[in-house]
Amino acid sequence: MTTQQLDATTQQNVDTWLSGPYDAEAKATIQHLIDSGNTTELTDSFYRSLEFGTGGLRGVIGVGSNRMNRYTVGAATQGFANYLNKSFAGQDISVAIAHDSRRMSPEFARIAADIFSANNIKVYLFSDLRPTPELSFAIRQLGCQGGVVVTASHNPPEYNGYKVYWNDGSQVVAPHDKNIVDEVSAIQSVSDIKFEGVESKIKLIDEEIDAPYIERVKSNAVNPGVIARQADLNIVYTPIHGTGITLVPRALEALGFKNVSVVEAQAKPDGNFPTVKSPNPEEKAAMQMALDQAQYQNADLIIATDPDADRVGAGARNHHGDFELLNGNQMASLIIYYLLRAWKDAGKLTSKEFVAKTIVTTDLIDKLCEQYGVTCYNTLTGFKYIAQVIRELEGKEQFIGGGEESYGYLIGDFVRDKDAIASCTMIAELTADAKDKGLSLFDLLMEMYQQTGFYYEALVSLTKKGKAGAEEIQQMMADFRANPPKTIAGSPVVRVDDYDALTRLDMASGKTSAIESGKLGIESSNVLQIFTADGTKVSARPSGTEPKIKFYVSVNEPLPNKEAFDDTYAALKTKVQKVVDELNLK
């Protein structure tokens, strides 16, 4: 029936779909690929089953076992439903479901709703697209046991995904993550999936969640007087064709900002993302329309959210009068700097407050927390670990805010995932506060560097494809573990933290101690961190989802005054390049 070029597993999966209870359109698509001899597409679509990982699904939309479609989404939902029914046996169980602007997102959300309802689980389904952080809020607001958001974040248009949340509004962590994976893996046949929904168990939601969510975002404001005085702050916003358009302008207006202009060419939700190559606010190209509009309007602030509105990019004029985009480390630091100052000024710091960030995010935040007498907890990469810290300390310590270098931040604990809506309003507020003092956002950045030191971070991401690439990545990690460098950029290495073995090596004494495990988001993970005497830090982390290894390099120097910014910046960039060259990161 098919060509001999298909391997046995691929052929078996193709045959299963052609002979099984799959819809006629799917079978016709497969037959067309067979008839046209398109073995490349057939192989990629069927050589494996799309993996349901600890965070959920992500893949190309299409027909096949290795694609995002009603059957792979169905198996994921059925497995999750089975686990919820086991975990909360005898209880009335409910879930909330949201989706972004991507192709097939509404359809996948509805399929999930039908399956949950068929498994006697009440469903709160957003009537239209909504940001990911609002889904987290809805789970908590409605007292749900779990939730799902259909999104592939800022992946290319051909992708979609499915993220799973637990009853505290955070993405699932151990032991639930692996247990759900096991339940999904146990779905052996499409006939195990209950596709026929029970309409009476599905309730559409929108404004009854939107309104309280906006009120909680509004409650984050620490200086309403500043906002009132700077209500005309000139803000340019782009949702980059995503869900942010539903709530960001509304939230800014609720706080009192009256001069917000949207990039109209990117305002309409569109899963094809027609104006950008990648809908990622980490990339300047995705922000170019906003930059152009801000230049034309002489704006004070640029903000942009990714398709599911959990990440935010920002920019402002620098000390040369040019618009400059701030990176994730800079923006996370500025948010924490502003919040710590505000809490201190308000007399709210009682020694029971904390900040949380990931281990690859700038240590400038640790320095700030130290200066203000606030604990800073460092977690593994992934916002679910920050949420885990908040959950474990609930009722004992007060979360102020936190974030990660990849443009995700959280203020307050009413959401348990990175929240671009709340972040946009806080960035607008701290920009207004700076302007109230005659400063720009960039001036505030330089002021912070004078207080803490100028921290500069760079990410080196190396792609190593195929089996040989995977082996090369493994070898790089093995070499660093076996033979860590003695010096980096002229400074002696003083410590090596291995999160795989959960051990810490003191280079001077040669003694190894344990990194505390199983508490505050730290568990075994393939990450290695190297620290030098002068504060340089290099983190090595293979990606869990892509054929990449990432190196996070952080260096710092004192900044005596704003006039020294350019020279210090140049020196730090040179130092990072020296680190990259010495460690042969290529």
Beta strands in 258-331 (DSSP E): 260-262, 301-305, 312-317, 323-326
**How far is it, in rounded angstroms, from Cα 99 to Cα 204?**
13
| Candidate list 153, 406, 423, 554, residue with the active-site label | 153
3-state secondary structure of 126: strand
pLDDT digits 0-9 by tens, 280-333: 999 999 999 999 999 999 999 999 999 999 999 999 999 999 999 999 999 999
Q: How far apart are CA 283 and CA 278, in angstroms?
A: 8
Task: Identify the band that residue 158 occupies on the pLDDT scale cut at 50, 70 and 90.
Answer: very high
pLDDT at 44 over 60: yes
Rounded Cα distance, 81 and 117, in Å? 9
Can you read off the two tokens belonging to residue 541? Answer: 């982390």
330-353 residue pLDDT tens: 999 999 999 999 999 999 999 999
For residue 105, indicate whether it is catalytic: no
Gap between the Cα atoms of 179 and 121, Å rounded: 19
pTM for this prediction: 0.96
Alpha helices (runs of H) in 64-200, residue ranges in sequence order: 70-87, 105-118, 132-142, 176-185
pLDDT of the residue at 467: 80
| pLDDT 10s digits, 177-195 | 999 999 999 998 999 999 9
Strand 260-262 relative to strand 235-238, pairing: parallel
**pLDDT confidence of residue 2:** 46
User: What's residue 412's pLDDT?
Assistant: 96
Q: What's the token pair of residue 347?
A: 């007399």
Residue 489 DSSP SS3: coil
Structure tokens, 363: 């240590």
CB 398 within 8 A of CB 353: yes
Beta strands in 146-300 (DSSP E): 146-150, 159-166, 202-205, 235-238, 260-262
| In contact, 439 and 234? CB cutoff 8 Å | no
How high is the pLDDT of residue 353?
A: 97
Question: What pLDDT was estimated at residue 203?
Answer: 98
DSSP string, 426-450: HHHHHHHHHHHTT--HHHHHHHHHH
- In this prediction, residue 519 has a pLDDT band, given cuts at 50, 70 and 90, of low
Q: What is the mean pLDDT of residues 206-232?
A: 97
pLDDT at 524: 87
Chain position carrying tokens 């270098």: 405
- Return the pLDDT at 518: 58
Give the span between the Cα atoms of 130 and 148, in whole angstroms. Answer: 12
